[in-house]
Amino acid sequence: MRAPGGPRLLLRRLREVMAEPVTAQARLDRIVVLIASNMVAEVCSVYVARADGPLELFATEGLNREAVHLTTMRPGEGLVGLIASTAEPLALSDAHNHPHFSYKPETGEEIYQSFLGVPVLRGGSTLGVLVVQNRARRSYSEEEIEALQTTAMLLAEMIASGELQGLAGGQTSAVALRKSAAMQGQPIAEGLGLGHAVLHQPRIVVSKIVADDVNAELARLETAIEAMRASVDDLIDRSDDGEEGEHRDVLEAFRMIAHDRGWLRRLREAVTGGLTAEAAVERVQNDARAKLQRQTDPYLRDRLHDLTDIANRLLHQLAGQSLVLDPEELPDNAILVARSMSPAALLDYDRSRLRGIVLEEAGAASHIAIVARALGVAAVSDIPNISEIVEHGDALIVDGLTGEVHVLPAPEVEAAYVEKARLRARRQDQYRALRDTPALTLDGVSIGLHMNAGLLIDLPHLEETGARSIGLFRTELQFMLASRFPRLDAQETLYRAVLDAAGDTSVTFRTLDIGGDKRLPYMKTQEEENPALGWRAVRIGLDKPALLRIQMRAMLRAASGRKLRLMLPMVSTVEEFRRGRALLEREIAFMTRLGRVAPTSVELGAMLEVPSLLWQLEEIAHVADFLSVGSNDLMQYLYAADRDNKRVSNRFDALSPAFLRALKRVAEVGERGLAPVALCGEIGGRPLEAMTLIALGFRDLSMSATSIGPIKAMILSLPLAPVRADVEALLEQRGDWDSLRESLREIAERHDVRL
């Protein structure tokens, strides 16, 4: 049986009802009458999800009116509850014999045999259920199901607007516009963030649902589809290195979605049914999102990401808007939400307005995590589908210590975190009070605490924290923020400004460390199967010596009449270091020939990040002025575990016997006086790990500014001699332990070390 007038006529009439100046209940009552008439149904009912869980009957045409605001169904209970929990339509010719059928005597629905129900969806959440029923047994057509789903979109907007708030039965019930949710992820940058969601790649808010001119909307849709396909083709072409492989298969699968006939057919059908092109995309995407979010198969969940990306691109084409949020539009108390982000993308945003970051993908040792820690912004990763779950402006809480993320938190949860933030602020005040206190262990051993930095705005933290020096200045951040290679004078200006801001405090510049996940948009590179093991850091500098020489020249000029310390990243062999020193000496000689004032002294160090140097320690110590352990990379290379791959990044513990024994070999180089040794990886900024490093023999640790206070507090409570004896005895034991963390924690507790 076809609906008279079809969905277009119904949508037009519903739009007229939406504009009428009547109460919300009167509007809803009028809507169910219109739907029942258009669908040739004897019953039309609207169930709305309440904040306390059940679905409540809000309006009906055909059932007993007394049941309105009285009848409820729990999620999963009855046919209505089944639709709410599965987020899928249900059409039955004999509803009474369905195993989920639940009889509610107050409704008087026992005389109706056939049943059609569809979920009322918005943003992948089920806000309610729309139902039509008939006395006679009949099969509902695909066209009728489509028509009812289209109509449900209008109801979704009505519910989401809050118009129905206050109509729910009972004194404390309210409509669940969207439910609070607590999710557990992986903490990657410590801190607490309370604010509102800002989507890094914002979704288009569809405000107009009903089409004025269907043919015009079809034409807009076709134009946008072609433009979207072209943008996808361009994206893939720019990423194409001509090589076959898994990455190429992924890109081609992405392209296939953009050309999927079934998906495109559903879009066109939705427009033909009376929706605008934007509403059609939203409608089809809502259906797909609701189904795929409930899948456990990782492959299908990945398809949700791809489909969301394609739909988002199509919506932006229709709206004529950029796919990326303008960083200048960032509101106060912003919490960035994204599937993933590059460090450069994060640095585009005004850090003074950032309160937190929530990502779907990023390891604790990834560069985006390092930058987040440098900015002092709480960050949590591994929250599946967060970019599909939250909407722009949603209240969010990010706990960078526990990894918890609260979406639309309840008032009591928010109040608890506000108090937690106050306690954290008081603790930070206590740490600041230690600024001028020397970092001495209880038995008088001095430990150098240094600060990692990468931006000029990091420099004020030197005085705030009382750090002994800048133990690592990441020069690549300047390159990542620029639209082209920074010229010699721009680099010199930055390095001079850093040295001026540091005053008498030493600064150790790391030469350009790019490659892997730190790509320069203006530098042509080829896709690599294993970028972490590929062309990066000093390898690029030695292959493109002009690039490294210009950077060294800028540093030498900036340090004129002052001391200069710089180090080469990712040195794998002594010969690589010798080649780097030769370039530096060539630049010093060039500076002298020009009659420029040279630095009073120049020290060149090697970053120990590649395990091969562990077996060349005496040789590298002989030619390098100092050594600095990059524990993040050393860890990933020692265990062959990509720190940006969440499947393996947390598989191995930095407090494992193998890694600690490797670090002990390096510390012994410093203790024997062969070369000064420091550690500038993230593990130096965690109290238990720092205690262990000091016990191994490290006397200089460089870390993020926010970590210096907690580490100094730990040092001031550390009786080094007995702790060192216990740690060394533990390392000498032979066993099959994956980690010594708990044993080391017991040592700390036994000696009252403050962690």
Nearest one of 616, 631, 609, 478 to 555, comparing CA atoms? 478
Letter string b/e over residues 294-305, b meaning 16 or more CB atoms within 10 A of that residue's CB: eeeeeeeeebbb
Inter-CA distances, 655 with 32, 441, 496, 680, 688, Å: 64, 21, 38, 16, 9
Residue 147, token pair as written in the block: 């028509």
| Separation CA 387–CA 517 (nearest Å) | 21
Residue 628, token pair as written in the block: 């600095």
| Active-site annotation holds for 259 | no
| Separation CA 679–CA 664 (nearest Å) | 12
| Separation CA 340–CA 200 (nearest Å) | 9
3-class secondary structure, 52: coil
Handedness of CA 730, 732, 735, 739 (dihedral sign): positive
- Helix axes of 261-272 and 277-292: crossing angle, nearest 10 degrees: 130
Backbone angles phi and psi of 38, in degrees to 5: -70, -35
Say which of 200, 367, 406, 450 is annotated catalytic. 367
At residue 184, what is the residue type? Q
3-class secondary structure, 415: helix
Neighbours of 161 (CB within 10 A): 11
Contact 292, 257 (CB under 8 A): no
| Active-site annotation holds for 44 | no
Nearest one of 112, 106, 324, 99 to 231, comparing CA atoms? 324
Inter-CA distances, 538 with 112, 392, 547, 650, Å: 76, 41, 11, 27
Work out the burial of residue 117: count CB atoms within 10 Å of its CB; fewer than 13 is exposed, 13-18 middle, 19 or more buried: buried
- Annotated catalytic sites, by residue? 367, 680
